[in-house]
Structure 1
Amino acid sequence: MPVNVLMPALSPTMEHGKLAKWLKKEGEQVKSGDVLAEIETDKATMEVEAVDEGVLAKILVSDGTDNIAVNTPIAVIAGEGEDASAA
């Protein structure tokens, strides 16, 4: 089953962040621990890692998008032969 990659909370008070840059492209194989993207807050830049293995099937939020709420889906990782729209 496809898995949504969510906008992480980088601190207990964080409500929104900026997706600075994708480090992987749609269609690329990813494994747990691979760095997918960089997220910026007013205080820090952090990396978002894949929590599952599969293909980065769909990027839902483009580079440079600001004001993304915590827990908003930003991408979909699908397993071999899975349909990303099922996430």
Structure 2
Amino acid sequence: MFDLPEHKKIPLPALSPTMEKGNIVSWQKKEGDELAEGDLLCEIETDKATMGFETPEEGFLAKILISEGTKDVPIGKLLCIIVSNKDDVAAFANYSDDGAGAAPAAAAPAAAEPAAAEAAGAASAGG
């Protein structure tokens, strides 16, 4: 693991009480842009409506991790990285989400797949 400059990870927030996932409609800021608290960061489509998500704090948008047009993003999934120093933006050029927010859910179906294939193979071998 390498050391990264101080940064703030911004997860997908719950924008309604019933929201479980959202669609990233559009990004209003791009990587490297200066952000002021309250700026419109992106538009997120929830189960009820499309809503603007405002920048939670000032700084610079270092990395967008979920591109616009992505659907069914779970709450808590890492959306972007904000840094306080513009010079730190470059340090995140190759940054990728370690998947901590959604790794268990994403790994479970993949782990079940080989077992299902083995079961299908055993069924056809016995038949």
User: Please, which of 22, 47, 52 is the counterpart of residue 52 of structure 2?
Assistant: 47
Q: Does 1:69 align with 2:74?
A: yes
| Alpha-carbon distance between aligned partners in 2 of 1:72 and 1:5, rounded to the nearest angstrom | 8
| Alpha-carbon distance between aligned partners in 2 of 1:4 and 1:60, rounded to the nearest angstrom | 10
Higher relative contact order (CA 8 A, sep 6+): 1
Task: Provide structure 2 residue ranges, at least 5 long, that are not aligned to the other structure.
Answer: 1-5, 96-127
Taking structure 1 as the reference length, what is the TM-score of the superposition? 0.89
User: How far has the Cα of 1:71 moved from its partner?
Assistant: 1.2
| Alpha-carbon distance between aligned partners in 1 of 2:39 and 2:26, rounded to the nearest angstrom | 14
Aligned partner of residue 72 in structure 2, secondary structure = strand
User: How far has the Cα of 1:42 moved from its partner?
Assistant: 3.0
Select the structure that is richer in strand.
1
Bigger radius of gyration, 1 or 2? 2
User: Please, which of 8, 14, 30 is the counterpart of residue 9 of structure 1?
Assistant: 14
Select the structure that is richer in helix.
2
- Structure 1 segments, 4+ long, off by >4 Å, are none
Aligned partner of residue 71 in structure 1, secondary structure = coil
Once the two structures are aligned, what percentage of the paired residues are identical?
A: 45
User: RMSD between aligned alpha carbons?
Assistant: 1.6
User: Please, which of 29, 36, 49 is the counterpart of residue 31 of structure 1?
Assistant: 36
User: How far has the Cα of 1:17 moved from its partner?
Assistant: 0.6
Taking structure 2 as the reference length, what is the TM-score of the superposition? 0.63
Aligned residue pair count: 86
Equivalent residue, structure 1, for 2:101: none
The one-letter amino acid of 1:24's match is K
